[in-house]
A and B are shown apart, each in its own frame.
Chain A
Amino acid sequence: MKYLLLFILTTNAWGNPLMERAERFYQSQRESRDIFIARELYKLGFFFAASKFSSNYLINQGLIDEDDANIMHSLLIKTGTHFLLKDKINLGKEHKSFAWIKGQKLLMKNKYPEAETALKSLTEKDFFYGEAQMALGVIYSLQKKNDEALKYYELCRAHTQKTKELSIKHNKLIMYYDLLGQTCQIHQARLLSMKGEFDISIKKYEEIKKTSYIWPQTIMEKAWNYYHMQNYNQSLGMTVALKAPILVDYFSPEAEYLMALSYSKMCLYNDALSIISQYYSNYQTKAQELKTFIDTTKNFSYLEIIQDNEKQIALHPYIKSLLTRIKKQMKFNVELQHYLKAQLELTKLNAINRPSPLWAEVRTNLTQDIKFRGDNLNQMIRNFLVEFINDVFLNSARLFDLNLEIIAKQKDLIYQNQELASDRARGDENQIKKDPLIHYYLFNGEFWADEIGDYSFGLKSNCEIATPPVTAEGV
């Protein structure tokens, strides 16, 4: 199909009126030259090439009519937001999509009131209404206006549900709106947790299907909710879910910390210390492997590695897992698709054999654009990996503090001539805070997909003194 298209393009290129018009505009000295070229390139299906001329026009002239605004909206969907995000571009009100881009730009710069005004101008009929509601929720969340934020996240959820139902034939769109709606729901759960409404927050998390891409990230957040509710057994059960083979890519240094912390809250100091020592031996190697990988990957060629399975064979399994995790990120996925499409467009443009200098410029522009997109993707991967290493060290420091605290507590017991009851049973069903509506099964070392994320430990707290304090006369 690709070759057929190339053949048609090359054979018809000489007599193509659209190309001839584009070339004529390119020769003219008119101020509106760039927008005319953009229109013709758009009609020819050269979207990435068209976006560059549109961007140039917006920087130099700025004023566009409704038709051009519609073309730019379409380019926005097909090529991504890059061409409109430049600082020099001052977007007007010609298209509601521009309000979304404007709001996005302002929010990234932490200019909340201005971003709010831009985003509130979108109505339910506008394409980016769902995204705008989420962005408004984010603005209010960051300003700690939780009730307002919850309202906008609810609007986001309702809208994505409606849009999903309307896009029955487009699987990718359904998946996208599903993810957007679920992200809004997770934000609601987070705000409820910050308000101290942990049980309602857990219910919100539980509404997200286990088949969703973003479900694994809810595990840790639910575990923190159980921790704050002092249900340490359930908190431990949530974190242990991340050790299931199916979730092998979602290992988390913070989960290890939470596990050790929960054990220490139940005065199971030996268990906590064992987690701490395992963390140091396990993550030290991993962090070192990752650091070597980052240092030795020349010219930021992460993108090549991520696209080529053969290049991943020699990598440490856990680095492979991290790369898989990046591939599942929505932004990375969309950007990667645009990058591949831009490469395909360059192949088509290279096949055009016409004497006009327009095509040489278009090819140069697109080559630069592809390089920019590639660098951007490489930077995204590198940032993700560096953030992971930082996370390992951050949790290592937290575990060190916890280790000191456990030692201090053990010293307290020695100074007070006390001992903890250590001869208690290791697991007891009676220790589980059960929900009357849920049936409980015993865990026998097998992870069943439908059970993952619903585990609970049955440990009895060891925070009781076993022997009465020995008096001085008794010595």
Chain B
Amino acid sequence: MKLILLISLLTMNIGFAAGEKKEKIITEYKKYEKFNLGDLEVKGDLMAPGDITVKERARVRIDNTLYERQEYFDLIKNDFMNMR
């Protein structure tokens, strides 16, 4: 009985759809819309810096201690070892 009812319902719908005339749908968009970016709010963590300025890096000046002969102990001892 249920099956007969379902078949009759389906045949009715097909007959109705075949008989219906296609309606033309026209979609219209807004021609002008204004956004206030300042009012926009993004929720979540910020991943980029807020500005694009570059800070000057502190310049490190390493002074190399240059050798300047101040003493002669090595040569004095060498001379002694070089005696007969």
Beta-carbon contact of B71 and A107 below 8 Å: no
Beta-carbon contact of B76 and A228 below 8 Å: no
- A180–B80 Cα distance when bound, in Å, is 10
Beta-carbon contact of B71 and A415 below 8 Å: no
- A101–B59 Cα distance when bound, in Å, is 60
Beta-carbon contact of B69 and A224 below 8 Å: yes
B66 contacts across to A, CB distance below 8 A: 261, 398, 401-402, 405
Answer yes or no: A339 CB below 8 A from chain B CBs: no
Distance from B57 Cβ to chain A, minimum over Cβ atoms (Å): 12
Identify the stretch in A10-18, A133-141, A437-445 within 8 Å (CB) of chain B at 4 or more residues: A133-141
Beta-carbon contact of A329 and B82 below 8 Å: yes
- Count how many chain A residues have C-beta atoms less than 8 Å from C-beta atoms of the other chain: 37
Known: A142-B73, A190-B72, A412-B61. A135 touches B67 (CB 8 A): no
Answer yes or no: B68 CB below 8 A from chain A CBs: yes
Out of A80, A334, A408, which one reaches B62, CB within 8 Å?
Answer: A408
Beta-carbon contact of A331 and B81 below 8 Å: yes
Answer yes or no: A221 CB below 8 A from chain B CBs: yes
Known: A194-B70, A415-B59. A81 touches B84 (CB 8 A): yes
Q: Which residue of B lies closest to A80 (CB)?
A: B84
Known: A194-B71, A398-B67. A142 touches B76 (CB 8 A): yes
Answer yes or no: A183 CB below 8 A from chain B CBs: yes
Beta-carbon contact of A221 and B83 below 8 Å: no
Beta-carbon contact of A134 and B84 below 8 Å: no
Secondary structure dominating the interface of B: loop
Secondary structure dominating the interface of A: helix
- A142–B72 Cα distance when bound, in Å, is 10
Beta-carbon contact of B83 and A401 below 8 Å: no
Out of B62, B63, B72, which one reaches A194, CB within 8 Å?
Answer: B72
Chain A to chain B contacts (Cβ below 8 Å), 21 pairs: A80-B84, A131-B83, A131-B84, A141-B73, A142-B76, A176-B84, A190-B72, A193-B72, A221-B72, A224-B68, A227-B68, A254-B69, A330-B84, A331-B84, A334-B84, A398-B67, A401-B65, A402-B66, A405-B63, A412-B61, A415-B59
Out of A108, A141, A227, A402, which one reaches B76, CB within 8 Å?
Answer: A141
- Count how many chain B residues have C-beta atoms less than 8 Å from C-beta atoms of the other chain: 23
Known: A408-B62, A415-B59. A190 touches B67 (CB 8 A): no
Beta-carbon contact of B68 and A228 below 8 Å: yes
Answer yes or no: B27 CB below 8 A from chain A CBs: no
Out of B67, B77, B84, which one reaches A138, CB within 8 Å?
Answer: B77
- A228–B80 Cα distance when bound, in Å, is 26
Out of A176, A186, A334, A402, which one reaches B64, CB within 8 Å?
Answer: A402
B80 contacts across to A, CB distance below 8 A: 107, 134-135, 138
A405 contacts across to B, CB distance below 8 A: 63-64, 66
A176 contacts across to B, CB distance below 8 A: 84
Assuming A134-B83, A138-B77, A190-B72, what are 17 further A-B pairs, CB within 8 angstroms? Answer: A81-B84, A131-B84, A134-B80, A135-B83, A141-B76, A142-B77, A180-B83, A187-B76, A224-B69, A227-B68, A254-B69, A261-B66, A331-B81, A331-B84, A398-B67, A402-B64, A408-B62
B75 contacts across to A, CB distance below 8 A: 190
B68 contacts across to A, CB distance below 8 A: 224, 227-228, 261
- A139–B62 Cα distance when bound, in Å, is 39
